[in-house]
Structure 1
Amino acid sequence: MMKRKAISTIFTLGLSAGLLASCGANESADQEDSAKQESVQQADAYAGVVKTSIYVKGYEGGPGVPKLIIELEDEVDSVDPSGWQVVTAGAERTVTDVYTSDENGDPQENSNFIAIDMETGFNDATFSVVGSPFTYNTTTSMNEWSPAYEVAIAAPSVTIEDETYSLSITEDAVNNRISPDTDLFNFRGSFTGTYVNPLTDLEEELTLSTAAYEPEDLSRGEANPLVIWLHGQGEGGTDPDIAILGNEVSALAKEEIQSNFKTDDVTGAYVLAVQTPTYWMDEGDGTNGNGSGISRYTEILMATIEDYVAAHPDVDTDRIYLGGCSNGGYMTMNMVIQYPEYFAAAYPVCEAYAYYEYERNSDGTYVKTNDEATGTSAFVKTEQPWFTEEKIQALKYLPIWFVQSADDPVVVPANFVLPTYQALVQAGAENAWLSYYETVEGTDSPGTTYLGHFSWIYLFNNQVTGVQDKAAIAAATDAETFGTEPNNAAGGGTAAATVGATTYANIFEWLNAQSK
């Protein structure tokens, strides 16, 4: 194997905002740090770096990059993990370990790859994971892959063919992505059809993108459940990876949740994620609505689901479960109202299907009021129910489990889930449940309290276990709490979901038991 030529004896990291230089310039720096910097400067720089890849993982707060993987032309004898400095997307990262690995970042000796593990936390100011590879587009209100993801690495000691080198890397790695979380969804597809636009009354061609988790073990089963997930407002587009990573949808394909689904001697369920190019609440004008209308994607979503089921004859058509968060929670409600006989159960999270109607212009678009002081606009609510008696009767026999946090500032519970759930309970819905939390507390970064809208975190963490008191909700007369008592400690409520003689430990065990 040919040894790489050393190209420099001065090691700097220009795009890390002078990290190394600032250490030497700081009069209060420890002598140890100064000595470390001197050793870095004296080491020859290795010239055989092939590329640097980012390891993308789904977290509670969105995608993060907890690992970098450097590919070298030569095999690495050893690597000293001390003294490494890393900046990703402008954020200085804390390195926790460095080691030789395979191309996917798993430890391996005698390798041409080096993996760098880094701490990954949540940034309250940006509502995103530190070093996220996503950029939020304020024009479209959607997440996108960042146009660039700059990585800067400074390393003092890597041994190659018995010689010690330093590493100095600055690279845009946005297109060098490794993501086992998205790889779990091994089926990718799309569905296209022509449908009448509900606002313009004209025919239009629509396409929905899909990704599915299809484990090989399920193929030996003859009747497998299908779990469908519909993303929120920020995850629209034409790349299902955005929908999988924007919320931690990959959790649905992992053992902790998959183990709840059982059919005879087969464990697991198919998971289908469907992505809209705009918003599920788009009623025909391409914008995000207010949940008191019928989505332009209603018919094509049904056709997409039917197409997937037809292509997978081992799917049990009596055990198809539909859920989603926020915009996807709206679409979940919209679909089960439009097709109440198709789904075995629904699990809407912070659902945005409005209880009341909202004022409209003559062209069918929503009336909005503008607040000049704050520069914000708002829809105008009426007193006319959108969740009508007809809809209540259509859903009262459908198994449904709602998840919501009381402090949600985006989908205010009193305008959405609380009156809706109360109406179902008062109508006699026996297999309808509500898990209602005080706040959204995370586990990835202990002590983190997320925006109250992020209640899907409890779902993906498999923490939805308790339910609210239906008798109290049915009897309540106030229009604020609707008889609820938010509860974090007991999984959203102090009772357990009990159907007949069976009590369920969590929402997924309950979901598995539902069948038409």
Structure 2
Amino acid sequence: MRRKTFSTIFTLGITAGLLAGCGSGESVDQQDSDQQEGVQSADAYAGVVKTSIYVKGYEGGPGVPKLIIELEDAVDSVDPSGWQVMTAGSERTVTDVYTSDENGNPQENSNFIAIDMETGFNDETFSVIGSPFTYNTTTSMNEWSPAYEVAIAAPSITIKDETYSLSITENAVNNRISPDTDLFAARGTFSGSYVSPLTDQEEEVTLSTAAYEPEGLAEGEANPLVIWLHGQGEGGTDPDIAILGNEVSALAKEEIQSYFKTDDVTGAYVLAVQAPTYWMDEGDGTNGNGSGISRYTEILMDTINDYVAAHPDVDTDRIYLGGCSNGGYMTMNMVIQYPEYFAAAYPVCEAYAYYEYERNSDGTYVKASEEATGTSAFLKTGRVWFTEEKLQAIKDLPIWFVQSADDPVVVPANYLLPTYQALVQAGAENTWVSYFETVEGTDSPGTTYMGHFSWIYLFNNQVTGVQDKAAIAASTDAEIFGFEPSNATGGGTAAATVGETTYTNIFEWLNAQSR
């Protein structure tokens, strides 16, 4: 439904087709009649200061499950019946309305009203309904929407014993409240001059950072550091995009934080680093295919070192690196380039290519013609990019991979499967894979996401089972490589066991790894 229609509703009253959050047993016609009479008989309140959107990270990206209206006057009471809301052109189902504090927490005698709304996933747009992000098809990146229009119609609020209606239309894109991003309160940038691996020219580069630093953690002397590297769609200069594009805030919340322990201290630092373009950018500003060296390799290492130097309580023997897709590529690229630095890696749907791909004379990649293949895919050669030298550099590093077998973006047979088989055939012992059939969600039960979204299992703390190493090492199948994907048992039927210790999930294992 478009804005013109909703504006008409404001003029004519609340119609049956947009009823939301009504709990009475009246007929729709009776509700409509009563609500129209209420809207018409109550004066519109003229003291609305602003409307803010409450932005939360979900499995499928950011959503807006709450709106917060600020008024000039304290509200005596609010009737939750008959409220209508649209956000970003989507009709929303209202579940509750109440007075609150400025952050949307229930509070009596307040100048704020909070509106709770249902939030689901839109399979057609691959985004949460009412998302504040817009996907830029030119850059293949997420951005804050240039406008986020909120339209609200309400029949009854009471202020100073007077009853008023509400009629609000506002662009609230810059009125954002997000406890998820607020967790990453330590913000910064790191800049330097580096030689591009593609052009061989020196360039100025800047990375953006956001860190979660648990209160009281610095009281310890040796605390773990968990680093997260975003995917293709979360590049830029605003780390909020990287935190909300995937549910990265889960790394800073109690369930996952509770696995990281140092003596009597619980918790870990979490550092999210954002590239201005793509981690797979080799120097021409475009997204590569994982068979080259990122232009951000050196500056990322310097950024991490800079953060560690500023936090002397970080245990340099317990620095853990992970990321998804582009960030999974960069995780592999970094541990190959700096194999002695990290204690463990946890790449998700990693895009570090096993094979090389055809290049043009300027070093950019050749693409297959759409006429010939129906796609603009890169052309794979028979040469191996994950060479014996790289294999030997990381085969003794603890690594736990995560991916779904139906990933259409980073096809496992070109990336994870041959890479992992090579590692276990080379004798890698503390190296694991959780391999799922499909990506099933929990935010919206029954939702099956695109297979590339396997980071959902990580952030939902569902990575528990691992694949059978012996079967993979012995396999001669060049398509499935001995893997047997499993949703029912957390990615595999075995458990990660190192020596005499068996780990229940990836985070318990990660906490135990030390350089």
Return the TM-score normalized by structure 2.
Answer: 0.96
Kindly state the Cα deviation for residue 31 of structure 1 after the two structures are TM-superposed.
2.4
**Aligned-pair distance for 1:376?**
3.5
Q: Compute the displacement of 1:198 (Å).
A: 1.1
Query: Cα 1:193–1:74, aligned 2, differ >3 Å: closer, same or farther?
Result: same
- Tell me, yes or no, if structure 1 residue 72 matches structure 2 residue 71: yes
Given that 1:16 and 1:90 are in contact with CA atoms closer than 8 Å, whether structure 2 keeps it comes out as: no
Pairing 1:303–2:315 present: no
- For residues 267 and 32 of structure 1, what CA distance do their matches in structure 2 show? 53
1:263 aligns with: 262
Question: Is residue 2:92 matched to residue 1:102?
Answer: no
Indicate conservation of the 8 Å contact 1:15/1:152, yes or no. Answer: no
Is the counterpart of residue 120 in structure 1 residue 110 in structure 2? no
Correspondence for 1:143: 142
Q: Which residue of 2 aligns with 1:240?
A: 239
Q: What CA distance in whole angstroms lies between the structure 2 residues aligned with 1:162 and 1:43?
A: 12
- Could you list the per-position Cα deviations for residues 155-180 of structure 1 after superposition, in whole angstroms to 9, with x for gaps in the alignment? 00000000100000000000000000
**Residues of 1 paired with 2:82 and 2:421: CA distance?**
59
Answer yes or no: is 1:202 the counterpart of 2:192: no
Alignment of 1:326-341 (within 5 A): 326-341=325-340
**Structure 1 residues 241-272: Cα deviation after superposition (integer angstroms, max 9, x where no partner):** 00000000000000000000000000000000
Residues 281-315 of structure 1, C-alpha deviation per residue, up to 9 Å, x if partnerless? Answer: 00010000000000000000000000000000000
Q: Compared with structure 1, are the counterparts of its residues 375 and 381 closer, same or farther at alpha carbon in structure 2 (3 Å cutoff)?
A: closer
Q: Name the SS of the counterpart of 1:368 in structure 2.
A: coil
Q: How does 1:48-447 map to 2 (within 5 A)?
A: 48-372=47-371, 376-447=375-446
d(CA) in 1 for partners of 2:253 and 2:14?
43
Deviation sequence 1:359-395 (CA, Å, 0-9, x none): 0011111011121388741100011110011111111
Distance in 2, matches of 1:430 and 1:15, equals 62
Q: Where has structure 1 moved over 6 Å in runs of 4 or more?
A: none
Shift of 1:25: 8.9
Does the residue aligned with 2:241 lie in a helix, a strand or coil? helix
Name the stretch that deviates more: 260-269 or 372-381: 372-381
Per-residue deviation, residues 440-460 of structure 1 (Å, max 9, x unmatched): 000000000000000000000
Verify the 8 A CA contact 2:13 2:36 in the aligned structure 1.
no
| Alpha-carbon separation, structure 2, partners of 1:93 and 1:375 | 38
The count of aligned residue pairs is: 503
- Relative to structure 1, the CA distance from residue 25 to residue 219 in structure 2 (aligned partners, 3 Å threshold; closer, same or farther) is closer
Distance in structure 1 (CA, Å) of the matches to 2:29 and 2:373: 48
Give the percent of matched residue pairs that are identical in Structure 1 and Structure 2. 87
**Alpha-carbon distance between aligned partners in 1 of 2:308 and 2:492, rounded to the nearest angstrom:** 35
Partners in 1 of 2:332 and 2:378 — Cα distance? Answer: 20
Q: Distance in 1 between matches of 2:221 and 2:312?
A: 8
Measure, in 1, the Cα distance between the counterparts of 2:157 and 2:7. Answer: 23
Q: What are structure 1's unaligned runs of at least 5 residues?
A: 1-12
Structure 1 residues 414 and 25, CA gap change in structure 2 (3 angstroms)? closer
Letter in 1 for 2:60: G
- The 2-side partners of 1:346 and 1:36 are apart by 58
How far does residue 482 in structure 1 lie from its aligned partner after superposition?
A: 0.6
1:441-460 correspondence runs (5 A): 441-460=440-459
How far apart in 2 are the matches of 1:176 and 1:308?
Answer: 30
1:502 lines up with 2:501 in the alignment: yes
User: How many angstroms does 1:58 deviate by?
Assistant: 0.2
Unaligned stretches of 5+ in structure 2? 18-26
Structure 1 residue 29: deviation in Å?
5.3
* Displacement of 1:16: 2.2
Return closer, same or farther for 1:296/1:25 CA change in 2, 3 Å cut-off.
closer
Shift in CA distance, 24/392, structure 1 to aligned 2, threshold 3 Å: closer
Q: Deviations over 1:21-42 (max 9, x none)?
A: 486598x952222221221122
Structure 1 position 499, deviation (Å):
0.2
* Superimposed CA distance per residue, residues 81-117 of structure 1 (whole angstroms, 9 cap, x where no aligned partner): 0000000000000000000000000000010000000
1:16 corresponds in structure 2 to 6
In 1, Cα distance between the equivalents of 2:181 and 2:372? 43
Q: For residues 124 and 334 of structure 1, do their structure 2 counterparts lie closer, same or farther at Cα, with a shift above 3 Å needed?
A: same
Q: Once the 2 structures are TM-superposed, how far is the Cα of residue 279 of structure 1 from its aligned partner?
A: 0.3
SS of 1:379 mapped into structure 2: coil
Amino acid at match of 1:357: E
Distance 1:158 1:22 in 2: 16
Aligned to 2:24: none
How far, CA to CA, are the matches of 2:40 and 2:483 in structure 1? 63
C-alpha distance in structure 2 between counterparts of 1:377 and 1:133, whole Å:
30
**Aligned 8 A contact 1:435 1:493 in 2:** yes
- SS at structure 1 position matched to 2:369: strand
Letter in 1 for 2:113: I
